[in-house]
Every structure is written in C-alpha cells, then in structure tokens.
Amino acid sequence: MRLRFAPSPTGYLHIGNARTALFNYLLAKKHQGRFILRIEDTDIARSKKEFEAGIIEDLRWLGLNWDEGPDKGGDFGPYRQSERLKTYQEFAEKLLKENKAYHCYCTKEELDQRNKELLARKESPRYDNRCRNLSDEQKKKYLEEGRKPVIRFKIPEKTIEVNDLIRGKVSFDTKLMGDFIIMKSDGKPAFNFAVVVDDILMRITTVIRGEDHLSNTPRHIMLFEALNSKIPEFAHMAMTMGPDGSRLSKRHGATSIREYRKLGMLPEALFNYLALLGWGSKKDQEIFTKEELIKEFSLERCKEGAAIFDPEKLTWMNGLYIRKKKPQELAKLSIPYLEEKGLREKEDYLIKVIALERERIKKLSEIPDLIEYFLVEKIKFSPEALLLSKKPEVKEILTSLKQELENLSDFSAASLEKIIREWTKNNGLKTKDVFHPLRVAITGRTIGPGLFETMEVLGKEKVIQRLMEVLC
C-alpha cells in the first residue's frame, strides 16, 4: 500500500491539510505501507522554498514521518513536481500522439468572454471543445498570430463511477464537462494532470484527500484510463471548517500548525485532536497514543460530514497532555517562551516552579505569565491583590506572622503548614483570613498553587523580603 500527502508550498501547513496528512499517515502505518511526501510546486508564482521547508518542519514536528520524499529521496522520485516537468511533457506528447489530447489556441480572454456569455444565458460555463478538430491551416494561422497553445484532454462521453472508500459509489456524467487543460501554455502541467502522472509514477495505490477533489476525480480517472494505468483507490474526507461552518481560513484566526505550535500546543495533543476530527472510535475513548491510533484507525469509521475545528477542545486536550508531562520536560519546553519575555532561570529551580504550576498550564505560551512571580525580583500586584494588601487588619496579621516566620529555620512546606496553622489557631483566626493575605503578599495575586509549597519553593529569604515590601 502506498499513500501520499501532496501539499503545495504556498503557505504554512494548514490545519485541514495536516489532518489529511495525518489520515494518510495512519492508514499507511496501519497496513505497513509507505507514506510519501510530494511537493506540488508547479505554481511558480505562489510556491516558495521557505514554505516547503516550513511544511516539512511542521510535519516532522507533528510526528508524521514519511518514507519517501524530496528531502530523503526514494525509488520513485523526484518528489517535487518542479523536477519532473519533462516527464509531464512526455506524457502529454503521448496523449497527443494517440489523439487523446489536442492543442487549443483559445486565449484566456476569449475563454472568459465566452463563459460570461454562457452564464448570462444561464448555461453551464464550460469549454466548447472548439479546437478539437482544427485544420492544419487554422493552426498555422493561430501560431502566426503569436498564440501559445495549451493542451487539452479529449473527454470521452461516458459515465464515470468513483468507488469512494468513505462515501461509496459516486457517478459523474462526462457530457457535462468540457475538455480540460492538461498542459498550460507555459509548458507547465495543470494540477489535474500532474497529480495523475505523479500518482502513476509513484505507484500510489490509495489516495486520501479532501472532498474538494471529489469532483475532480472523474477527470483523474479518465486520465488514468487514457494512460493505461491502474486506477488507485480513492477516499475523500470531508473538509475542515471554521466555527461559522465555512471553510477554515485565515479570517477564523489561527489556521496553521505553525501558529498552534507557537501558542504552545504539544504535537501529541494536536495529533490526537486532529485524529478525532472526522473519525471516531467505537469505544468511548478520546485519548489515544499514536500507536493506538494507528491500530484503531479505519476509513470505514470516517464521517462523511464536514467537521468544525474547535480550538477550545484542542486546548483542553493540550492541558491534559501537559499534565502528563514530567516537570523537567515542561521546563525545557518552556525556555523559548520565557526567553521571549526576557525571563531566564536555573533549571532546577524552574523545574520546581513548573511542578507547582503544571496543572494550571493549558498552553506553553501561558507559562511566563503563570510563573513570573517566582522568577522576578519585584513582583507585580493584581488590582485585587493590591487592594487586599493595603488593608490595616491584613497588615497587622502579616506583621506578626512575619516575626513568626523569621524565627523559623525549617522552611519546608510541611513545617510551614504546621507553624502557620498553629499560629492561626492560637490567634483565634480563620485559616482563610490568614492564608489568603499571605498568598497575596508573597505572590501579588489571589490565585496560585498551594500556599506552603509556594513558600517553600520561593524560600525564606524571598518570602520575608516580600512581606517587608508589603508592610512598609
């Protein structure tokens, strides 16, 4: 079994495309097949090398490792369309010779004009196949006019049945289609042609792609037939939508893997979440390891309807995966985010801090704000915290508590808890009337991890220091 993911390097890896790549990957791995990466860069104007590199990086980051691709080669390369231009020409030549394709001299302007007229008459805008049987004389005349021909495929009249692995049989009547372009006037292959040639040459057996290609599939099938090649199996998965139900796009906010990666999503969370978009297990299970997904995945269980990408559920799942990570791992992952905010800290201290805050982290990008008060010399007070710290009765409590703490030599959480609870009781106070002000004084905020653990990690010196600052 050979499957491929074939992105165009015209931008960063889109969530929807990543999902397509993921499904291809899962099926390939499930059947011990090959997962192949192919770069469709025939659109020179929009394709950029940096996007190709970006897509490769993000696919790797997500954990979708391919067996053959432009970066690692393989027996059926090249894996970049721009490197097979000659091949497309040869295949087109062959179709021309066999009278299955022909040159068309109509200009873009003429075509547009005719389509407009057809539309005005409420007819289907499509090519009228007028160049199918041009005389040599006419061809010569057109050439003399300086027209650069395209090559069109001569569509046979028939009904094409696509046996889709997700949707079942879908049939198309080719009478409704005009002869389509396989080679553009600049000598580059049109998408519908390049895909077929590539899939033939790369021995692709199964094509999993977006539903937007379903309507193109009859064209592909005709081409496979014209080129006497085995037709691969097709599976068209429903599109990924934004919250308003339209195709997920930039106006919905972050749409690329790169953006979510920068936000601090873990690859395993994204992997798991994306697998659940349009596919579901028969069990009530939602959290899967990569291996479980490979084992469980099947096209039969793929949904036919479109799925709306839900960043909130992704975030929840990300929090879950974060809580499963070891503090030292998280500490390492947090470093770029801390540095971005100009924060830097010794590893062992950072690990302790992160261990305390771990269950509050939903995205790595939240870490700096969450732990800042552990790292900086001068803490910021939230408005609410500031108000509380100014209260006379609070100052009174903190003043005498400070003395108590100054005399304390064992600053462990257990010891602190024992002493402070006793002190509270002895002074006839309620725990929350002591704990809360204390937290506010030493952290500048009203929320956070356990008070005594926080104090232990901060250390006696910082705790006393911060109490002094509040009291003066």
Partner RNA sequence: GGCCCCAUCGUCUAGGGGUUAGGACGGGUGGUUCUCAGCCAUCAAGCAGGGGUUCGAAUCCCCUUGGGGCUACCA
- 150 lines the binding site for RNA (CB under 7 A): yes
Give the binding range for RNA (CB under 7 A) out of 56-64, 71-79, 211-219, 388-396.
211-219
- 266 lines the binding site for RNA (CB under 7 A): no
Task: State in angstroms the smallest separation of the CB of 434 from RNA.
Answer: 8
Chosen residue from 15, 40, 102, 354 binding RNA by CB under 7 A = 40
- 440 lines the binding site for RNA (CB under 7 A): no
Task: State in angstroms the smallest separation of the CB of 157 from RNA.
Answer: 14
Residue 41 near residue 82 (C-beta atoms within 8 A): yes
- 320 lines the binding site for RNA (CB under 7 A): yes
Q: What's the distance, CA 332 to chain centroid?
A: 23
Chosen residue from 212, 340, 369, 404 binding RNA by CB under 7 A = 212
3-state secondary structure of 385: helix
Residue with the two structure tokens 């992105």: 7
Please state the three-class secondary structure of 294-345 as a single string: HHHCCHHHECCCCEECCHHHHHHHHHHHHHHCCHHHHHHHHHHHHHHCCCCC
Q: Would the annotation count 230 as a binding residue?
A: no
Q: Report d(CA 132, CA 380) in Å as an integer.
A: 76
Task: State in angstroms the smallest separation of the CB of 298 from RNA.
Answer: 10
Touching RNA, residues 5-24 (CB under 7 A): 8
Give the binding range for RNA (CB under 7 A) out of 62-70, 397-405, 428-436, 459-467.
428-436
Task: State in angstroms the smallest separation of the CB of 450 from RNA.
Answer: 3
Residue 85 near residue 216 (C-beta atoms within 8 A): no
Touching RNA, residues 397-426 (CB under 7 A): 417
Give bridge partners of residue 357 from the DSSP assignment: none
Q: Between the CA of residue 324 and those of 287, 317, 362, 455, what are the distances in Å?
A: 12, 11, 12, 24
Give the binding range for RNA (CB under 7 A) out of 95-103, 275-283, 326-334, 462-470.
275-283
Give bridge partners of residue 150 from the DSSP assignment: 104
Q: Between the CA of residue 144 and those of 129, 140, 279, what are the distances in Å?
A: 21, 6, 57
Touching RNA, residues 224-243 (CB under 7 A): 238-239, 241
- In terms of CB distance, is 46 or 341 closer to RNA? 46
- 115 lines the binding site for RNA (CB under 7 A): yes
- 211 lines the binding site for RNA (CB under 7 A): yes
Is 250 catalytic? The answer is yes
Give the binding range for RNA (CB under 7 A) out of 86-94, 164-172, 226-234, 251-259.
164-172
Does the N-terminal peptide bond of residue 189 adopt cis geometry, omega within 30 degrees of 0?
A: no
- 167 lines the binding site for RNA (CB under 7 A): yes
Task: State in angstroms the smallest separation of the CB of 112 from RNA.
Answer: 8
Residues in CB range of 182: below 8 A, 6 or more apart:
92, 95, 101, 151, 152, 153, 189, 190, 192, 193, 223
- 129 lines the binding site for RNA (CB under 7 A): no
Q: Report d(CA 41, CA 433) in Å as an integer.
A: 66
Residues in CB range of 437: below 8 A, 6 or more apart:
388, 389, 391, 394, 397, 398
Given the residues 72, 140, 158, 250, the one annotated as active site:
250
Chosen residue from 113, 124, 400, 412 binding RNA by CB under 7 A = 124
Task: State in angstroms the smallest separation of the CB of 333 from RNA.
Answer: 18
- 87 lines the binding site for RNA (CB under 7 A): no
- Binding residues, by number, are 250
Which residues are known to be catalytic? 250
- Binding residues for ATP, by number, are 250
